[in-house]
């Protein structure tokens, strides 16, 4: 594991009756099932079903560790982040590897951008939104995304 050449798919459904969508991480087998998810500009992390978050965090090199005290995955800020993206409407939106870790304020310790949802809805927060151009069309009841190039 940890090679950038594999593609592990995580199926998601954004809303009931929506076309199937997938989040992708490293590897080559499906590691999730359809779940409801929301996009939230007021949330920092990407929250995924617990079993999926465990797998994604295991793909950091070296792997992220779960801090039971805070309930968050932490990594050394110098780790190699996995290649990770989200399929929406058949298009893959990758998260820039620089955005897969957030500085915690302690020297050399970062938080993983992917955390456990803990039984709640999966959430694509600020980490996802800074990697796409997002249009929230309230009148039409639609959201549109365009991929951004890595910076």
pLDDT band at 87 (very low <50, low <70, confident <90, very high): confident
List of residues 6+ apart from 52 with CB closer than 8 A:
10, 23, 31, 32
pTM for this structure?
0.78
d(CA 146, CA 122): 20
Q: What pLDDT was estimated at residue 76? A: 95
Helices (H), 44-89: 50-58
State pLDDT tens for residues 47-74: 998 988 998 999 999 999 999 999 999 9
pLDDT mean across residues, the chain: 79
């Amino acid at each position: 594991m940890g090679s950038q050449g594999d593609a592990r798919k995580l199926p998601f459904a954004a809303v009931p009756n929506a076309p199937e969508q997938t989040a992708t991480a490293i590897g080559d087998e499906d590691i999730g099932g359809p779940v409801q998810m929301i996009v939230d500009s007021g949330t920092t992390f990407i929250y995924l079903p617990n079993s999926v978050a465990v797998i994604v965090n295991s793909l950091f090199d070296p792997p992220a560790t779960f801090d039971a005290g805070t309930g968050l995955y932490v990594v050394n800020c110098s780790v190699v982040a996995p290649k990770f993206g989200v399929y929406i409407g058949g298009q893959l939106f990758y998260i820039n590897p620089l955005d897969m870790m957030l500085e915690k304020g302690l020297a050399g310790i970062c938080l993983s951008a992917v955390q456990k949802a803990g039984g709640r809805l999966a959430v694509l927060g600020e980490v996802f939104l800074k990697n796409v151009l997002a249009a929230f069309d309230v009148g039409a009841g639609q959201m549109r995304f365009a991929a951004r190039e890595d910076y």
